[in-house]
Structure 1
């Protein structure tokens, strides 16, 4: 993953991956997590996602990790939150407000206490193929035994479009999390009116997975 690529995307406001509303996939499938309010939730590569506030309504602690300080500061500013900001040394900074904590810095260098649940909508699919196993291993190291991951991936012919976001097949998901129980929850195939299809993709689908550590 090229850090400068993501810094420039945020600096230039080229953030087509950002959703202005809570992700319907999250709302629909979060019950599959069998969550409780006490479960600590991790959102890797969280950007300025409004999903954080939705999760914070249901959990006492939501932890985000994001590379771009522009994204982190925008999240708090757009919600009129004034966070407590703590420098953790190196290039990491912690922003905290009520139930929400966001670590700003390199995900692979982030050290947090193991969490109960992960919501990954945009992290794995942002990784080039040669980094995905490293990412999956790091993610699992941050999940308690018995923890759960709600994972969203994309399926499209990779040769038809440059990522990110990248296509991640079912076979790859199962291989990356081979030590876990992997359950396919949903697949939403886009029709010809979808923006990605209009750009020439012959197929484009979002898939949802429940991964149990």
Structure 2
């Protein structure tokens, strides 16, 4: 799964992963990371998520990383923000407006000052299995010691549906974040009326995890 896959999804507006409202799990479990106003927050592969604006009401520095310039421009346009745009070379730019900064470019080469908290709803589950370890290594390099990660994952029979989003189960999370403190916060099992279940999945659950970096 390369960058062109995601560029085409945004270019063709095939963004079923985008939510028009703040993620309920973010609202419900954000207090578990014990946030303070001064904590900086990273949202990897943020798209044009409205979660950024929700976080910006609670924190002075919210940093997103997003590959697609279409997504970044749409985020600011839809909120009527006029960002300052700083070209960084190599096809990368930084967009800034008040509390929100979005690094537009490749996640794996983005240079971000270490943050206190990470909110990952759509990044890990967007990665095919062979890329997840590299993703997590890069993520942990951008988190301060003692930093916290609110991670949202999916659990479903992978053979029943092609990703992304992919199923990432407990054993893999424990392996990927080995050396960190991992706490399972919640599991929300979808009933038969959920769109994913109606497409044939025998089960589909969203899970929340609190990961504390050593």
TM-score range, shorter chain: over 0.9
C-alpha distance in structure 1 between counterparts of 2:8 and 2:164, whole Å: 14
TM-score for the superposition, normalised by structure 1? 0.99
C-alpha distance in structure 1 between counterparts of 2:160 and 2:67, whole Å: 28
- C-alpha displacement at 1:27, in angstroms? 0.2
- Quote the residue 1:68 is aligned against: 68
- C-alpha displacement at 1:91, in angstroms? 1.5
Structure 2 residues without counterparts, runs of 5 or longer: none
- Quote the residue 1:11 is aligned against: 11
TM-score for the superposition, normalised by structure 2? 0.99
Report Cα offsets for 1:47-89 as digits up to 9, x if no partner.
0000000000000000000000000000000000000000011
Structure 1 residues without counterparts, runs of 5 or longer: none
- Quote the residue 1:45 is aligned against: 45
Report Cα offsets for 1:133-163 as digits up to 9, x if no partner.
0000100000000000000000000000000
C-alpha distance in structure 1 between counterparts of 2:143 and 2:91, whole Å: 23
- Quote the residue 2:152 is aligned against: 152
C-alpha distance in structure 1 between counterparts of 2:16 and 2:153, whole Å: 16
- C-alpha displacement at 1:179, in angstroms? 1.1
- Quote the residue 1:81 is aligned against: 81
- Quote the residue 2:104 is aligned against: 104
Report Cα offsets for 1:21-46 as digits up to 9, x if no partner.
00000000000000100000000000
- Quote the residue 2:174 is aligned against: 174
- Quote the residue 2:117 is aligned against: 117
- Quote the residue 1:93 is aligned against: 93
SS in structure 2 at match of 1:88: strand
- Quote the residue 1:57 is aligned against: 57
* 2:119 corresponds to 1:131: no
C-alpha distance in structure 1 between counterparts of 2:72 and 2:22, whole Å: 17
Show structure 1 runs of 4+ deviating over 4 A.
none
- Quote the residue 2:25 is aligned against: 25
| RMSD of aligned Cα (Å) | 0.4
